[in-house]
Chains A and B, each alone.
Chain A
């Protein structure tokens, strides 16, 4: 039995029955990382020693009859923008090279408390700015389906790690689609929970009003199990929602869409969407209709302006958040020769430590927030945000969930859009409205596009704090497609 082919759910079951040990499970995944990651480059750092120590501890406690959490002993990969005490946390940036945080992000602490085994930190676009993971300062991650193509971004490392069976679970963060678009192009499942549903404490901030931590896995049920493990109120995050976590695992198990009203967003389909993406999306809708859901079309006219608003709000918040990287208290310091002033050292440090896309967005954000332009840009973008929230609210009066393709195309080729920011930004056109409104959303595989044989993502969007509906619909669709194919889509990925 190849332990790396099992789902988190199956591994948890086998561990619970003591058919395998956590050390065996962990070692199998570490071996797989050694074998395939030189091709994929999903990981920036491996945490072998800590992982094996944790696994040993799980096995010892299980042997002594201690009560363990459901996912105890299951390996997991963590995106490199989440602080993990004593381990490198670079955010894919030179400015944090060698930095070891003196604390754990709340999500990391919860994973540890639940005895998941963290096997490494995953690659990402620098400070999560990008849709291809090509903006990492430490080299690109490759898509396991086609090594010449992008794995999506910014969380391409987490998605590629899961898609290449290096870990059954991963943590991502989603500011404009950074969990969902990588899931779409790698044939995996990713969820951006409702804003505030999972703590952001210890997540290195990109755009604080948009950022959300969430789960990545190969099946809807595994995603739900991880979602449940990391969600819930955190007093250390003032934007964390103090309310019960929706029953996502129950919903993933029920997988029933009978009587549910599902709305297709008119503005998130048609022109600009690859033919094979539209085809698989339409087929998925037929499945859902066949399962007893009612499909209607819903118009959200303000979504046309979402991309524009996002690319003003995000750089504005990012330019402010990234001001903390000044070379004084942590990370890189450049030009400290005894002559340069503190301001010169800050400017030289930031120039040396940040990559092109980060600088581009800092300058754009500084411009949008500067005196004389604030109202025309940032202020105006915040009004568009109101319109988008209203469009969602009106839509959810008519339907239970909204759906669209996750991304307009399948994975594009490495380098194809690297120096064309607008083309790169357009990848996020279908995922961005969700972040602006703070609602929950899932991407799951809808099949392979006929023209290129690459995975297509199906996006589900639910009202605030109704994340369970994502799992209800996602699990139903996944089951129908699994019946059709005889297996999950990810089983068709190349062996590497």
Chain B
């Protein structure tokens, strides 16, 4: 298993990272090394072993359905990169056409 520069570029797009050329070179090499180091896990884990996603199995945990104060709206907007009226202001989300 090797990871190419193109693979890293693709992963960068999926993860919304505008990677530089240097980073593409660097990460493709390093990811190969890391994946080789972790590949040994395939030696042990057989089909009949169930996966563990979480150390403490729990189901349907809900807090009591009571109204509690939320965070302060002004404080939230004060910490936002841009806002307008009572909304976050974001760049355009649709193409021009």
Contacts of B13 in A (CB 8 A): 347
* A385–B18 alpha-carbon span in the complex (Å): 33
Contact B15 A381 (CB under 8 A): no
Contact of B95 among A312, A328, A341 (CB under 8 A): A341
B residues less than 8 Å from A312 (CB atoms): 38, 41
> Any chain B CB within 8 A of the CB of A302?
yes
- Knowing A103-B71, A308-B40, A336-B81 are in contact, say whether A345-B31 is a contact too (CB < 8 A): no
A-B contact count (CB 8 A): 182
How distant is A312 from chain B, measured CB to nearest CB, in Å?
A: 6
- A386 touching B51 by the CB < 8 A rule? yes
Between A and B, 24 residue pairs with Cβ closer than 8 Å are: A102-B79, A196-B56, A238-B58, A238-B62, A304-B40, A307-B38, A308-B37, A328-B81, A329-B76, A336-B82, A336-B91, A340-B91, A341-B92, A341-B95, A347-B13, A356-B23, A359-B17, A362-B15, A363-B11, A381-B38, A381-B41, A383-B46, A383-B52, A422-B34
On whether the beta carbons of B27 and A383 are closer than 8 Å, the reply is: no
Interface residues of A in 137-193 (CB under 8 A from B): none
CB contacts under 8 Å to A, within B18-73, are 18-20, 23, 27, 30-31, 33-35, 37-46, 49-56, 58, 61-64, 71-72
What is the chain B residue whose CB lies nearest that of A96?
A: B79
Cβ-neighbour of A351 out of B11, B19, B63 (below 8 A): B19
**4 more A-B contacts (CB under 8 A) besides A239-B56, A382-B53?**
A100-B75, A308-B39, A329-B76, A382-B52
Contact of A345 among B15, B17, B91 (CB under 8 A): B91
What 3 A-B pairs come out closest when comparing CB atoms? A438-B55, A382-B51, A383-B45
> In the complex the two chains form, is A327's CB within 8 Å of B56's CB?
no
Task: Closest B residue to A86 by CB, please name it.
Answer: B75
Q: A102-B76, A311-B34, A359-B17 are known contacts. Are A328 and B45 too (CB-CB below 8 A)?
A: no
Of B19, B23, B38, B92, the contact of A308 (CB 8 Å cutoff): B38
A209 within 8 A of B: yes
Tell me which residues across on chain B come within 8 A of A351, comparing CB atoms: 17-20
The reply to whether B64 and A235 form a contact with Cβ atoms under 8 Å apart is yes
Please, which residues of chain A bring their CB within 8 A of the CB of B37? 307-308, 311, 422, 425
Contact of B91 among A239, A341, A367 (CB under 8 A): A341
Asked whether any CB of chain B lies closer than 8 Å to the CB of A348, the reply is yes
For residues 365 through 385 of chain A, which have their beta carbon under 8 Å from a beta carbon of chain B?
A: 366-367, 370, 376-377, 379-385
A302 CA / B46 CA spacing, docked (Å)? 13
Main secondary structure, interface of B, reads loop
A contact residues, range: 35 or more
Instruction: Say whether A464 contacts B90, CB under 8 Å.
Output: no
- Residues from chain B with a CB closer than 8 A to the CB of A437 are 55
Chain B contributes a number of interface residues (CB within 8 A of A) equal to 58
* Pair A331/B17 contact, Cβ less than 8 Å: no
Separation of A180 and B34 alpha carbons in the complex (Å): 24
- B16 and A342 contact, CB distance less than 8 A: no
Chain A residue nearest in CB terms to B23:
A359
Whether the pair A235, B56 counts as a contact (CB closer than 8 A) is no
Which residues from chain A contact B63 at a C-beta distance below 8 Å? 235-236, 238
Q: Which residue of B lies closest to A426 (CB)?
A: B37
Q: Provided the pairs A363-B12, A364-B31, A421-B30 are in contact, do residues A383 and B56 lie with their beta carbons within 8 angstroms?
A: no
Contact status A342-B19, CB under 8 Å: no
> A209 touching B18 by the CB < 8 A rule?
no
**B53: chain A residues within 8 A (beta carbon):** 209, 382
Q: How far is the CA of A436 from the CA of B51 in the complex (A)?
A: 12
In the complex, which of the residues B13, B41, B62 has the most CB atoms of chain A within 10 Å of its own CB atom? B41
Q: Is the CB of A342 within 8 A of B82?
A: no
Contact present for B95 and A380 (CB under 8 Å): no
Contact B44 A384 (CB under 8 A): yes
Contact with A333, one of B30, B71, B81, B92 (Cβ below 8 angstroms): B81
Which residue of chain A has its CB nearest to the CB of B88?
A: A329
Tell whether, in the assembled complex, residue B58 and residue A239 are in contact, meaning their CB atoms are under 8 Å apart.
yes
Q: How far is the CB of B78 from the nearest CB of chain A, in Å?
A: 7
Assess A302 versus B18: contact at CB under 8 Å? Given A385-B51, A389-B55.
no
Q: Is A246 an interface residue (CB 8 A)?
A: no
Say how far B66's CB is from chain A's closest CB, in angstroms: 10
Contact at A386–B52, with CB atoms within 8 Å? yes
Q: Mark A14-28, 1 if CB is under 8 A from B, else 0.
A: 000000000000000
